[in-house]
């Protein structure tokens, strides 16, 4: 992990995630009755739970409204869920105030142009590998994995490693604490 990235991640206290294209692969599946379905990666969810275990808060900030997102957030015990956020920058300000955090203590992962105003302000910004190029040009890090296929877990693991929790996790889960190769 590059030194400047590790330094940025070391102080992160809140991870904010977009949903469509980040927590999912961006596809929206609708049945004949208009019911929406999304695919979430279970390993991304486990990464979120690991962050929470180590005291990092997680929030969802998405432009769409979906019952599926409510269910996934409840399943992951994410209390900060902001849906229908047409102006993400404005909601970001509210999140900072709610948690009493400065911008440099927040990480954000996005994939589309609506995410850029927040990506430009946070302490650590990431785009998923299949994000728009204009988004990739604005971030600190581009994930190896695509949205909905491990990108969130990748960021979670990087935060845990940068904050010195990797060896403790390795002991708990009986794996080698060798640093992640990023």
Q: Is the pLDDT of residue 182 over 60?
A: no
Summarised one tens digit per residue, pLDDT across range 33-51 is 999 999 999 999 999 999 9
By C-alpha distance, which of 93, 143, 97 is closest to 121? Answer: 93
By C-alpha distance, which of 144, 139, 112 is closest to 125? Answer: 139
Beta strands (DSSP E) in the chain are 14-17, 29-30, 36-37, 57-61, 80-82, 106-110, 124-127, 141-142
Helices 151-162 and 42-53, axial angle in degrees (round to 10): 20
Domains of the chain: 3-173 (3.40.50.1000)
Summarised one tens digit per residue, pLDDT across range 52-62 is 999 999 999 99
Summarised one tens digit per residue, pLDDT across range 56-111 is 999 999 999 999 999 999 999 999 999 999 999 999 999 999 999 999 999 999 99
Looking at residue 180, its pLDDT comes to 65
The mean predicted confidence, pLDDT, of the chain is 95
């Amino acid at each position: 992990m590059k030194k400047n990235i590790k330094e940025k991640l070391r102080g992160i206290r809140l991870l904010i995630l977009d949903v469509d294209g980040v927590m999912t692969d961006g596809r929206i599946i609708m049945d004949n009755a208009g019911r929406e379905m999304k695919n979430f990666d279970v390993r991304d969810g486990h990464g979120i739970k690991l962050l929470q275990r180590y005291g990092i808060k997680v929030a969802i900030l998405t432009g769409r409204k979906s019952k599926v997102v409510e269910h996934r957030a409840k399943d992951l015990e994410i209390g900060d869920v902001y849906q229908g956020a047409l102006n993400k920058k404005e909601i970001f300000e509210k999140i900072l105030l709610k948690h009493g955090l400065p911008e440099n203590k927040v990480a954000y992962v996005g994939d589309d142009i609506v995410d850029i105003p927040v990506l430009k302000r946070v302490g650590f910004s990431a785009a998923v590998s299949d994000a728009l190029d204009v988004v990739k040009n604005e971030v600190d890090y581009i994930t190896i994995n695509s949205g909905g296929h491990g990108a969130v877990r990748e960021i979670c693991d990087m935060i845990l490693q940068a904050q010195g929790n990797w060896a403790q996790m390795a002991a708990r889960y009986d794996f080698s604490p060798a640093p992640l190769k990023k």
